Every structure is written in C-alpha cells, then in structure tokens.
Amino acid sequence: MADYRERLRTVVRTHPGVLLHLEEPIRLASGDLSRDFVDAKLAVDEPGALRTAGEAMCRAAADAGAEFDAVGGLLVGAAPFTFAVSTVAGSKWFLVRKEPKGRGTNRWTEGARITEGMRVMLVDDVVTRGESIQKACERVEEEGAVVVFATTLVDRADFSRHWFAERAIPYAPVLTYEDLGIDPVVGDEHSG
C-alpha cells in the first residue's frame, strides 16, 4: 500500500490544479472554510493515475480483509473511483443519486441492482465531514446491502474514521491531510 500511497501523493501534489493553497479561504462542499482545496477528480484525469487509484483502493480493501460484490458511492464525486475499482476488481458497480430519479423507476441507485445481503465497498473522491459517503452508506443499507469497506482518495479530517468505526465498518483512506501536509478540518461546527 505504501507504494500506491506515495505514487498518488505525488500525483495530488504535482498535477497542476489538484492541490491548491489559497490566500483566502474558500467554502468546501462540507460547508467548512479552508485555504487548501483538493480536486481529486482532476488528479485521476489520466488513465494511469485512475488505474493506480483503483489499484490502491482495492489493495486497501484487501488489507482490511474485505471481499465485495459491488463498488459505488454518491454521484458525482465517487464516479471515477467507482469505475476504477470495478475495473481492477472485476466487480459490479453502482452510483447513488442525491435524490430519486423522479421518473421511470424512480430509483436511488444506478448500475448494479442492490440486493439483500450484497457486500458493497463505498468510495469517494475527497471526504471532509463525510456527508456524501455517509449518505451513500445509509442508502445502500436501506436497500439491504452490507457495507464491508469504505475508502476515499483523500480524507481532510477524522470525522469519517469515527463515523465508520461506530458502525464497525472498516474505513481506510488512501491519503490523509497528513500525507498532503494540509491543515485538517476540525471542530464540531462548520466554519464561517
């Protein structure tokens, strides 16, 4: 795992526009303010980096002893990582909508049909407070899946680690704020 981590850390730190250190703080998707911005989808815009991310996430799952039938997460952040892991692992994939489709089958998930007892791995691009990956977890569990592992390319804080630990779900980000030398998001309230 160390080799994958180092290769992806290099991509995140050197690929133009992926890791930005800003003069003024910006609002993150979590609602928190930060002077550091990580565009993880841009980090994997090239096939080699995307494959490396998929391999790293599969290795993290294997290291946790997690075997899964399908991989997925919440649109849009999880999409490239879902496809990378699915391709590397040879597993099914699914994506969770932020709201039901609103027509046709009115489904919450696209791709593989979530079935009772299906073992799933959850992925995301960047996690701060973890709302997206948590929402994906809750949605697939409501459909009967068993979440056996969760990961993200970058975790900017420690909130998700605690959230998944409380549910006895193994969680291992590929990279953390420490790996990237950025300040973690801390505290119980959103900044600003």
3-class DSSP state for residue 44? coil
pLDDT band at 190 (very low <50, low <70, confident <90, very high): very low
Crossing angle of helices 2-14 and 47-63, rounded to 10°: 140
Q: CA-to-CA distance for 189 and 28, rounded, in angstroms?
A: 14
Instruction: With a cut of 70, say whether residue 192 has pLDDT above it.
Output: no
Domains of the chain: which residue ranges? 2-180
Write out pLDDT tens, residues 65-93: 999 999 999 999 999 999 999 999 999 99
**Region 2-180: CATH code:** 3.40.50.2020
Mean pLDDT, residues 143-155: 97
Let me know: does 71 contact 123? Beta carbons within 8 Å: yes
